[in-house]
Amino acid sequence: MLRLVTVALLVFLHAEGADSLVWHPKARTFDLDFRERPLNEFLGYIRSETGWEVRVEPGLSQLVDGKFRGKPAADAIRLMLGRTQFKLVPRTQGGTRLTVYSGNIGAATQEVQAVVQEAAAFEEVLVEGELQITLPVKIHYFKSKYASINADPNATDLRPLFAGMNEIWEIANLRFLLNQPELLRAADAAAEREFANLFTPDVPKAFVRQHQARILHKLLPDLPDRGKAFHIVLIYTMPDAYGAVYLPAKGVILMPQVKFAKLIDPKGVWKDGSPVFYAQSNILAHEMGHALSLNHVATQGNLMIDGRLREGFGIGPGVGLSVEQIEKARKQAKTKGPYVPGVNSKPNVGE
Ligand SMILES: [Zn+2]
């Protein structure tokens, strides 16, 4: 009995006490819930969730307070800052910049450091009458002596990409939250060498296509909680690269870090607002769809369309999901883990 009471109290405190900031990069809106938090902390949340460059006038301090949903970025910031001035400049090339100052914009010389929201846990919460499922995602960066494998946790900011993915999955009331990245060692030294050798100039493309998947499966360890938790593994690059891929047998989404290297600025931020930023968010959302047991479809505009059937170039803009797809994905989500054959099978839908 006592234990039940304790649990209920903790949930209550969590719901009441946590500041939250949800960024929708495509709609350019915020959902916010902040109770008397210091300005720098609030700006740090913006920095981490949006990937924007945020500058503030040193010494500027105030408490911010507010709660709303779906508010356009500039309106949201104006509401939170009150009389403090700011300038919000969206830039496709360099990423958006937010500058906060009291009177003179030139005084905003201090760069705001990211404040990362707490590590996530699986959670089902009623939001406006609907059950929202929060799925924590474990992030791993390959560590290897081979440059083609070794990924750098400081060179990629996944949080804005997750914001883009979450914006797409909002229709199913699913939210993915990142856990702190961990380093991952290759499972097999021979596979590591074999993978690195795929990059030697005289290796024919056909050989790469034939062997890449087999080598990657040897390279990736069998994570002990595969099928029971969501995983994304970052590898530095791939010789025959795609934006990301879900590997059902391993239960991981594998994502090359520098497929879109030209999008990463010197500070390691995926430049928000650019077409390729959205492409990568869509790819991640699509692969998460596979992890959530969804197959390819042939419907134009659907998130799960087979890339070879899509009209037009690039990834997207298909983000649609059918009622059946939503039902299936939510059933899979409730198992707390992705589809992994023999470990966590696909849910039955419509029975
Ligand atoms: Zn696919």
What does 39-52 look like in DSSP terms, one character per residue?
A: HHHHHHHHHHHH--
Instruction: Indicate whether 188 belongs to any domain.
Output: yes
Beta strands in 28-147 (DSSP E): 29-38, 53-56, 63-72, 85-89, 97-101, 110-111, 123-127, 130-143
Specify whether 99 is located in the same domain as 247.
no
Strand partners, 29: 24, 72
Q: What is the CATH number of the domain that holds 206?
A: 3.40.390.10
Instruction: Indicate whether 90 belongs to any domain.
Output: yes
Q: 307 C-alpha to center of ligand 1: Å?
A: 7
| Average pLDDT score over residue span 97-118 | 92
Q: What is the CATH number of the domain that holds 67?
A: 3.55.50.30
What pLDDT, in 10s, does the model give residues 258-309? 765 555 555 444 566 666 677 788 889 999 999 999 999 988 899 998 877 7
Instruction: Indicate whether 12 belongs to any domain.
Output: no
Instruction: Indicate whether 351 belongs to any domain.
Output: no
Is residue 14 pLDDT above 60, yes or no? Answer: no
Q: 318 C-alpha to center of ligand 1: Å?
A: 12
Q: 296 C-alpha to center of ligand 1: Å?
A: 6
Count of the separate structural domains present in the chain: 2
Is residue 8 pLDDT above 90, yes or no? Answer: no
Specify whether 188 is located in the same domain as 261.
yes
More confident residue, 173 or 4: 173
Among residues 86, 111, 136, the one where a domain terminates is: 111
> What per-residue confidence (pLDDT) applies to 180?
87
Q: 304 C-alpha to center of ligand 1: Å?
A: 6
Burial of 333 (0-12, 13-18, 19+ CB in 10 A): buried
Is residue 171 pLDDT above 50, yes or no? Answer: yes
Specify whether 250 is located in the same domain as 322.
yes
- What CA–CA distance (Å, rounded) separates 49 from 163? 7
Q: How many helices (H) and strands (E) does the chain have?
A: 8, 14
> What per-residue confidence (pLDDT) applies to 287?
95
Terminal alpha carbon distance of the chain: 37
The percent of residues in the chain predicted with pLDDT above 70, rounded, is 86
Instruction: Indicate whether 116 belongs to any domain.
Output: no
Q: 45 C-alpha to center of ligand 1: Å?
A: 32
Q: 120 C-alpha to center of ligand 1: Å?
A: 26
Q: What is the DSSP letter of 264?
A: B
Cis check for the bond before 256: say yes or no (omega within 30 of 0): no
Listed in sequence order, the DSSP H helices in the chain are 2-17, 39-50, 73-81, 158-169, 189-197, 205-219, 275-291, 323-334
> What per-residue confidence (pLDDT) applies to 117?
75
What pLDDT, in 10s, does the model give residues 219-264? 999 999 999 999 999 999 888 877 889 999 999 999 988 765 555 5
Burial of 145 (0-12, 13-18, 19+ CB in 10 A): exposed
Specify whether 176 is located in the same domain as 294.
yes
Structural domain harbouring 93: 17-111
Specify whether 129 is located in the same domain as 264.
yes
Q: 295 C-alpha to center of ligand 1: Å?
A: 7
| Average pLDDT score over residue span 56-83 | 95
Residue 299 tokens read as 């419907």
Contacts of 132 (CB under 8 A, 6+ apart): 124, 125, 126, 173, 174, 175
Stretch among 87-91, 195-199, 267-271, 295-299 having the lowest mean pLDDT:
267-271
- What CA–CA distance (Å, rounded) separates 196 from 219? 11
Specify whether 64 is located in the same domain as 130.
no
Instruction: Indicate whether 306 belongs to any domain.
Output: yes
Specify whether 105 is located in the same domain as 149.
no
Q: What is the DSSP letter of 268?
A: -
Q: 248 C-alpha to center of ligand 1: Å?
A: 12
Q: 305 C-alpha to center of ligand 1: Å?
A: 7
